[in-house]
Structure 1
Amino acid sequence: MKAAPQAQLRLLDLQELDSTLDRLAHRRRTLPELAEVERLEGRLTELRDAIVAAETEVGDLDREQKKAEQDVDQVRARAERDQQRLDSGQVTSAKDLSGLQAEIASLQRRQSDLEEVVLEIMERREEADARVTALRAERSEAEVELAAVVQRRDAAQKEIDDEVGTTTAARAAVAKDIPGELLGLYEKLRGQFGGVGAAPLYRGACQGCHLAINTVDLNRIREAPEDEVIRCEECRRILVRTPESGL
């Protein structure tokens, strides 16, 4: 392939711009804010699930407390009725009196036990309420932190995108100076060799694979016409001759 020396040198300018675009793309993909956003979003999901579970527990305890309080009221009402019967003098049989007194005593013990159950449920509900409050506070803190990180991420991405826009425009201007066939070869090689399709020959070494060129190949390159497109024998990238090639 033939191409003017100046066009070949422009390949190095193009390669530098493409390498810059690759670095910018890598930087955008690996912004620390991206990982931080992902972490905080995951934490918020966990907190929302925990809040739902805690709120559900509070609701369950509310129903449990209401049921226990109803049981207390029923036992208390029955004990009061029995006590009224006892106080009214309607029960005259000694056996009936003894049974009624025993039932009242049993109901009082039952009421006391149920009231203990109510107190225990109330304590558990207070603990569940405290968990809900703490989880909501933590969620609010995480949301504030996430908003700040998202703002930093967006600012960093905008900065990168602006630089990508400037670099892309510069690349388009350089690409116009390179013949289509040479540009096509460069693009093909760039896709094959990790984004580097052209490299300078610097002091007898290819800067694409960073290997020294042997004497025979150096002599061949030295004798080649200026417009001949040279390929590195080791990495097969386009090898661009410059004043610092050491030829």
Structure 2
Amino acid sequence: MTGRLPRGAGRHWTDLQRPGHLVPPPVSTAAIAGLPEPARRWLGRAVPPGTPAWAVAELSMRGEIRLGGSWCTFSARQIIAPGIGFVWAARTRVLGLPVAGYDRYGPGGGELRWRLLGLVPVLSAAGPDITRSAAGRLAGEAVTVPPACLGAAWSEGPSPDTAVMSWVLDGEREDALVRVDPEGRIQGLSMQRWGDPDGTGYGRHPFGVSLSGETDVAGVRVATVLRAGWAWGTDRQAEGEFFRARIDDVRFR
């Protein structure tokens, strides 16, 4: 899945593949039993005991992303290793012209690199703020790799159907409040993610993802429909939504 990746993303993609050369040991009943009840309800259904404890996933997806005031269709591939890093490489069109690039996060920090026509830089960014925002993204998107979420720190949520999933990334704790339905399907998550959604300066802002649909991959149940945005849970949620996607393919490593 690394063919034709944007320049600069291929090496990081390969690095993230390395933990997955061997089939990992199976998930144990004990690993799930100690979780808060909503997390146990979700992961007990999504990752039944005996399922390999996959730590990395490669995803293919299609959807729409809002750029400026317009929704643009995109196709993308992603590799994600919760607690470690991700590369999200995508292609879209802006005003009819092709734009391709990637977002990534890993030991070297966070980075955005996007080019028009494969030549003209349209967005290049790195540094502490980009890294912190990307770390929050990784913490939230960990739910696309349910077995890896057993490696997070878990605590009770404020309501019977919620639990808090926590990761420490670059020395900062990132908390995501996960919502689970009575049958054990994950419905979404919300968090205070580092970013600058209003162009007024970086800080922690409400961010969230709704999750629906489901597919079974190697015994793991994965949500396949995602909608995400800033101002989640506020009266500006519709305005803040900027991402809609359907996962077409999942491969665990």
TM over 0.5, yes or no? Answer: no
* TM-score under structure 1 length normalisation: 0.17
Larger RCO: 1 or 2 (CA < 8 Å, sep 6+): 1
**Over alpha carbons, which structure has the higher Rg?**
1
Higher helix share: 1
